[in-house]
Amino acid sequence: MYSRRIRNRMFGTTDRLKRTKQILETTVAIGQTLREVFEQEVGADKADKQSSEPFIEGSYRVVDADNPSARDSSYPDVEVTIIAPPKPSRPEGAPKQTKTEQSQSSRPKVEPDAARTTNQPEVEVTIDPTPQADEANTTKEQKSTPPPHSTSSNKTHQAYEPSQADGFSPLGGEMPLFLRIPKHLRNLKDKIPFPQSTPASPEPETVEEGKGGFIRRSYTNAAGTRSYKVYVPSGYRGQSVPLMVMLHGCTQSPDDFAASTRMNELGEEHTFLVAYPEQTFKANFTKCWNWFKVAEQQREQGEPSLIAGITREVMKAYNVDARRVYIAGISAGGAMAMVMGMTYPDLYAATGIQSGVPYGVAHNIPTGLALIKMGGSTSADRLTSAPGDTSKVRVVPTIVFHGDEDSMVNPCNGDSIIGQWMQVRAEKEKRPQPKVTVHRGQVPGGHSYTRSVYQEDGEPPIMEQWLVHGAGHAWSGGNPNIAWTDGKGPDASREMLRFFFEHPHPKG
């Protein structure tokens, strides 16, 4: 494993916010490249197989390149990942290596820094978007010079080990993810406590009739296990009620999303159930739903199968009206809500998407990052084949919210979401795009907005698109005291609920 440092020299107190923002954005970008956190031990035979998956070695402190020994509180602690190259495959007939031999032969020998011999060693990481001229020359020289420790007698190992000049990165291309790794940090991942996604204190799994409550459960199938929470309103007495499935965004939990959207309060007011599936740190280091992976875009596979399984489990546990099951989400959760609408049009009556992206355009991390910045679409065949059975294909009524100042997900993705459903409408129903009516409004003391309604005469709106002017990457109109929420926008939760109730499933 080879390393290079990223340097960033910012001076003056006026640059502190900018520097901190760059650190956080870089950390998120690195975290999104990982599929799993803390790779679990596997059997010896399985360990011999070549793997292309990255894994985490540890987390480290960001320091100033000009003053590495400084302990200034203005330099926040952040988690930084170290990417490991694929393990070399063992030639047929070659003797198996022991775990110790594998470790010694597959990693370069780096002597530990004498200044760092404490029980909690640190690695200095600095960030620089514009490398100095002398560093660029050094990089060129490295490309023409064999990497250190390349004279190993293990020829099989040499064939698979990338050099420092290779610029190995799971993002591909020139992604500067290089760190200086002391020898005694290589197994640090086994000593770092794993972050828990579930609360330490037990939560109730049932509620008394007439009292309601927010309960935690879990669901398991062949794709894995996910926890989820269900809000049962106090007015539920066993009567048939709607179900709202809510998919949180990156770094959020069910409790965060429930508080920001106030959907539980609406459930209490209108007597419907609310289910919140929860992503795990192991599945995604930033707790994003993996909407950008092909394996997570298929019906009855991966995360879509888990979310659909949670939905069906709640429907069986309570008297849910099968014609009134809806799904909504924000950001990565909004992207996954779009996946669920495309792959399970027979299960969900309508979808709500806040700051999401269209279906099936991304197939890995680089294309996912490109999509959120530039938008995109895919073929009609890709869309109509999403449910597996073409008889299930239909246009799922969808309401979209997006801030026109969203710097994380380009607002053009809202147009692409509507455009994909128009593709399905033209391909499946052989009908042209419905008439579009544009309304402009203003939230008292808040943001203005543009609402585009796609509607045939005498029918409820099949699509609605809300562009909130002056809003960023946040749930519109939610609790302003919660992160990723903009209380000055139109109330997305109430508008989604109003739209959903206009669209019971035609087949149920």
Query: Mind listing the pLDDT tens digit for each residue in 147-184?
Result: 433 333 343 333 333 333 333 333 333 333 333 345 45
Indicate if the pLDDT at residue 351 is higher than 70.
Answer: yes
* Segment 67-83 mean pLDDT: 46
- Which range, of 135-144, 287-296, 387-396, 414-423, averages the lowest pLDDT? 135-144
Provide the edge-to-edge strand list for the sheet that holds 448-455. Answer: 213-221, 224-232, 273-277, 241-247, 320-330, 350-354, 398-403, 463-468, 448-455, 435-442
For residue 376, pLDDT beyond 60: yes
Q: What are the structure tokens assigned to 449, written together?
A: 């907005």
Of all residues in the chain, the percent with pLDDT exceeding 70 is 58
pLDDT at 99: 43
pLDDT tens per residue across span 388-428:
888 899 999 999 999 999 999 999 999 999 999 999 999 98
The percentage of residues in the chain with a pLDDT greater than 90, rounded to a whole number, is 52
pLDDT at 248 over 90: yes
Distance of alpha carbon 289 from alpha carbon 399, whole angstroms: 20
pLDDT at position 31 is: 57
Per-residue pLDDT at 306 exceeds 90? yes
> Which pLDDT score, from 0 to 100, does residue 30 have?
59
Q: What is the pTM of this model?
A: 0.63
Does the pLDDT at position 366 exceed 90? yes
pLDDT at 367 over 50: yes
What confidence score (pLDDT) does residue 508 get?
A: 62
> What pLDDT score was predicted for residue 59?
43
Question: Could you give the domains of the chain?
Answer: 1-194 (no CATH), 213-434+472-501 (3.40.50.1820)
Residue 49 has pLDDT above 90, yes or no: no
Average pLDDT of 119-128?
42
Distance from C-alpha of 67 to C-alpha of 69, rounded to nearest angstrom: 6
In whole angstroms, what is the distance from residue 448 CA to residue 404 CA? 11
Res 24: pLDDT: 64
Range scoring the smallest mean pLDDT among 136-140, 185-189, 379-383:
136-140
101 has a pLDDT exceeding 70: no
pLDDT confidence of residue 268: 96
Model pLDDT, residue 120: 40
Lowest mean pLDDT among 113-117, 214-218, 438-442: 113-117
pLDDT at site 389: 86
> Per-residue confidence at 237, pLDDT binned at 50, 70, 90?
very high
pLDDT at 270 over 80: yes
User: What SS3 state is found at 435?
Assistant: strand
Give the range among 128-132, 257-261, 324-328, 420-424 with minimum mean pLDDT: 128-132
- As a whole number, the mean pLDDT across the chain is 74
- For residue 468, the cross-strand partners are 403, 449
Higher pLDDT, 330 or 154: 330
Looking at residue 421, its amino acid is W
How confident is the model over 307-335, as a mean pLDDT? 97
Predicted local confidence at residue 428, as pLDDT: 86
Would you give the distance in Å from CA 234 to the centre of its chain?
A: 33
Both tokens of residue 223?
């794709």
Retrieve residue 415's tokens: 């147009």
Q: Are the beta carbons of 357 and 292 closer than 8 angstroms?
A: no
Report the range of poorest mean pLDDT among 42-46, 223-227, 287-291, 366-370: 42-46
Calpha distance 123→73 (Å, rounded): 17
pLDDT of residue 21: 61
**Residue 358, pLDDT score:** 96
Q: What is the mean pLDDT of residues 237-245?
A: 96
- Residue pair 189/84 in contact (Cβ under 8 Å)? The answer is no
Picking from 20, 23, 34, the residue whose alpha carbon sits closest to that of residue 81 is: 34
Q: Which pLDDT score is estimated for 40?
A: 40
pLDDT at 457: 85
Over residues 290-300, mean pLDDT: 95
Sequence-distant (≥ 6) Cβ neighbours of residue 504 within 8 angstroms: 321, 323, 324, 349
Q: What pLDDT score does 187 carry?
A: 53
Provide the sign of the torsion angle of the four alpha carbons 222, 223, 228, 233, taken in this order.
negative
- Tally the residues of the chain: 508
Cα–Cα distance, 260 to 276 (Å, whole number): 13
